[in-house]
């Protein structure tokens, strides 16, 4: 398995700028073998402005950025990409656009077979998993399927939020919503990535990075907390 993934919970951490909190991990992840990164801005409506934001940030790290929407043939752009970064925004809009552009299969092939490094943040992390069923977003558009790119055999909930014990809000907590999801048959386990955390996948090894803990949910068992630096390779088996 050649896959190399950097799955980030959030692109902006409170008190810092765009991708500032994970820029060291980004530089280490793409390394010096990658000069140009293909950015997928499909999760936001204004793709040009979004691409400029990513381009400006990556330039400070020594990388050039090409927006996939700027290419005449998106599939060919993926086929030639040295590295791929899918940004956050609305997960439903993102996945629909990935299907509309017919790049889902090619991204999966390039990452799993060719070893092209894949970075996602927020919605871009959601679509790297089995499905987008554990996104926090509103279904503003309807993709042809909730099945995602499938680079890992589990789901992720980015921006995982702990209950506020002092809040008077009476809606379900994030944990309750994930538990409801797991009550349905044949659903995969879920990794809740708090803001500030990210998962590094190298082949069949997975490591939690960042400054915050992650929470792991599986059907019929208590949730488990993991500290930064934890080995989460068990997630990569077919039935964790």
Catalytic residues: 122, 137, 159
d(CA 117, CA 113): 11
CA distance 68 to 237: 32
**Pairing status of strand 4-8 against strand 197-202:** antiparallel
- Alpha-carbon distance 169 to 184, whole Å? 26
E-strand ranges in 41-165 read 64-67, 84-86, 118-121, 155-160
List strands edge to edge, sheet with 155-160: 155-160, 190-194, 214-217, 224-226
In 19-114, the DSSP E strands lie at: 36-40, 64-67, 84-86
- Token pair 């797991």 is found at 182
Q: Which two tokens stand for residue 178?
A: 């994930």
- Pairwise CA distance, residues 109 & 116, whole Å: 9
């Amino acid at each position: 398995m050649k896959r190399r993934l950097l799955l980030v919970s959030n692109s902006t951490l409170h008190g810092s700028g765009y991708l500032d909190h994970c820029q060291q991990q980004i530089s280490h992840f793409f390394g010096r073998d990658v000069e140009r990164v293909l950015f997928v801005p499909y999760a936001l409506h204004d793709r040009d402005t979004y691409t400029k934001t990513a381009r400006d940030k990556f330039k400070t790290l020594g990388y050039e950025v090409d927006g996939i929407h700027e290419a005449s043939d998106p599939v060919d752009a993926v086929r030639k990409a040295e590295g791929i970064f899918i940004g956050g925004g609305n997960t439903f809009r993102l996945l629909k656009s990935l299907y509309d552009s017919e790049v889902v299969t090619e991204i999966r092939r390039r990452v799993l077979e060719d070893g092209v490094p894949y970075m996602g943040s927020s919605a871009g992390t959601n679509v790297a998993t089995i499905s987008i069923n554990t996104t926090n977003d509103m279904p503003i558009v309807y993709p042809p399927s909730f099945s995602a790119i499938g680079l890992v055999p589990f789901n992720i909930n980015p921006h995982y939020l702990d209950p506020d014990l002092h809040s008077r809000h009476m809606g379900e907590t994030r944990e309750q919503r994930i538990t409801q999801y797991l009550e349905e048959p044949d659903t995969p386990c879920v990794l809740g990535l708090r803001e500030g955390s990210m998962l590094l996948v190298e082949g069949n090894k997975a490591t939690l990075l960042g400054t915050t803990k992650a929470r792991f949910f599986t059907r019929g068992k208590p949730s488990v907390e993991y500290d930064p630096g934890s080995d989460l390779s068990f997630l990569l088996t077919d039935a964790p």
